[in-house]
């Protein structure tokens, strides 16, 4: 018996409170009147201001919101390009019966963006306009479902992997609970291999920030090191090349000089083995005369 009475009371309270419409700034809000049709007249008000009025026998007349308001069906109102100052009561009166609805404008945002770098700093903001009571608490719920300690602003000193997912901005209005979610993505830094990440749940600055700064420095130095390494390699290769060239040139010069002048190596050989040295000397002497007559022939 008691539960039925209580249930009836809750239903009555709900119908009296009407719909609560949550909309983000710039989007459109749709209000269902509460009845599908009317026989005589339909009026939509924003507080005391007339938005639109229609009667079966005449043209619809627009007031407040002008171009931003339109009837989507016979009784459903749509407000486009919602602004924060649009919050409040939207009252539909069909054939003299009123149905009251409430518009709340909720903006959830993450800065610098909803795609955050692991270890970076970030701020989540939730702003709800039109709450009753106006000072009812607005709080953030983490992706794992736990309530974030704090208010409508969340400061993340160092974004962790566990921060990825759907954050919910929760608030109550006229006794009902509502929420607006914001999806956060966490990006891993690219060329980071030696990341000390044994603290996925910890959000302390001291624990999780060092890897982030390390990664940043590494990210910077990675290119510099490659450039320096390539530079050094090129210099070393050039030096080796130059040394080899010099040696070859010297060898050629020596051979050339030896052929032209003293034939010193042969004299050394002669000293070592005088008997054997005589023959090669003859051989080379024979070669030279044979080579020399060719040159004049070619020139001639």
Query: Site residues for ligand NAG, window 268-297 (CB under 6 A)?
Result: none
Query: Binder to ligand NAG among 2, 56, 177, 260 (CB under 6 A)?
Result: 177
Pick 78 or 141: Cβ nearer ligand NAG = 141
| Nearer CB in complex with ligand NAG: 129/178 | 178
Q: Name the residue nearer to ligand NAG (CB basis): 67 or 144.
A: 144
Measured at the alpha carbon of residue 180, what is the angle toward residues 93 and 16, in degrees to the nearest 5? 25
SS3 sequence of the chain = CHHHHHHHHHHHHHHHHCCEEEECCCCCEEECCCCCCCCCEEEEEECCEEEEEEECCCCCEEECEHHHEEECCCCCEEECCCCHHHCEEEEEEECCEEEEEEEEEEEEEEECCCEEECCCCEEEEEEEECCCCCCCCEEEECCCCCECCCCCEEEECCCCHHHCEEEEEEEEECCEEEEEEEEEEEECCCCCCCCCCCCCCCCCHHHHHHHHHHHHHHHHHHHHHHHHHHHHHHHHHHHHHHHHHHHHHHHHHHHHHHHHCCCHHHHHHHHHCHHHHHHHHHHHHHHHHHHHHHHHHHHC
Nearer to ligand NAG, 38 or 140 (CB): 140
Q: Taking a C-beta distance cutoff of 8 angstroms, is the pair 110, 181 a contact? A: no
- In the complex with ligand NAG, the residue whose CB is nearer, 168 or 173, is 168
Which residue minimizes CB distance to ligand NAG?
179
Binding residues for ligand NAG, rule CB under 6 A, total 5
CB of 190 to ligand NAG, least distance (A): 34
Q: How far is the CB of 32 from ligand NAG (least distance, A)?
A: 16
Minimum CB distance to ligand NAG smaller for 139 or for 192: 139
- The CB-of-169 to ligand NAG minimum distance in angstroms stands at 10
Q: How far is the CB of 221 from ligand NAG (least distance, A)?
A: 44
Q: How far is the CB of 181 from ligand NAG (least distance, A)?
A: 7
Q: Is 179 in the site for ligand NAG (CB under 6 A)?
A: yes
Residues 227-266 within binding reach of ligand NAG (CB under 6 A): none
CB of 156 to ligand NAG, least distance (A): 20
Tokens, residue 96: 């003299």
Residue among 93 and 170 whose Cβ is closer to ligand NAG: 170
Site string for ligand NAG, 137-176 (x = CB under 6 A): ----x--------------------------x-x------
Task: Provide the binding-site residues for ligand NAG, judged by CB under 6 A.
Answer: 141, 168, 170, 177, 179
């Amino acid at each position: 018996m008691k539960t039925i009475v209580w249930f009836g009371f809750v239903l009555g309270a709900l119908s009296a409170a009407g719909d609560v419409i949550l909309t983000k700034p710039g989007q459109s809000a749709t209000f269902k009147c509460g009845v599908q049709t009317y026989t005589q007249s339909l009026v939509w008000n924003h507080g005391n201001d007339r938005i639109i009025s229609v009667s079966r026998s005449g043209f619809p007349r627009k007031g407040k919101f002008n171009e931003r308001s339109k009837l989507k069906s016979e009784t459903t109102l749509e407000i486009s390009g919602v602004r924060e100052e649009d919050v409040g009561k939207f009252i539909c009166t069909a054939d003299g019966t009123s149905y009251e609805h409430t518009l709340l404008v909720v903006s959830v945002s993450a800065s610098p963006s909803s795609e955050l770098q692991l270890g970076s700093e970030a701020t989540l903001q939730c702003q709800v306009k039109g709450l009753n009571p106006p000072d009812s608490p607005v709080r953030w719920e983490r992706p794992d479902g736990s309530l974030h300690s704090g208010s409508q602003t969340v400061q993340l000193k160092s974004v962790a992997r566990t921060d990825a997912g759907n954050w919910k901005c929760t608030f109550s209005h006229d006794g009902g609970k509502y929420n607006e979610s914001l999806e956060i993505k966490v990006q891993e830094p690219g060329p980071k291999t030696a990341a000390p990440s044994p603290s996925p749940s910890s959000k302390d600055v001291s624990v999780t920030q060092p890897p982030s700064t390390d990664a940043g420095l590494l990210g910077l130095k990675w290119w510099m090191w490659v450039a320096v390494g390539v530079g050094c390699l090129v210099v070393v290769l050039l030096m080796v090349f130059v040394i080899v060239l010099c040696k070859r040139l010297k060898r050629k010069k020596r051979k050339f000089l030896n052929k032209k002048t003293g034939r010193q190596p042969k004299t050394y050989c002669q000293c070592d083995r005088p008997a054997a040295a005589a023959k090669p000397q003859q051989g080379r002497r024979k070669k030279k005369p044979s080579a020399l007559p060719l040159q004049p022939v070619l020139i001639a």
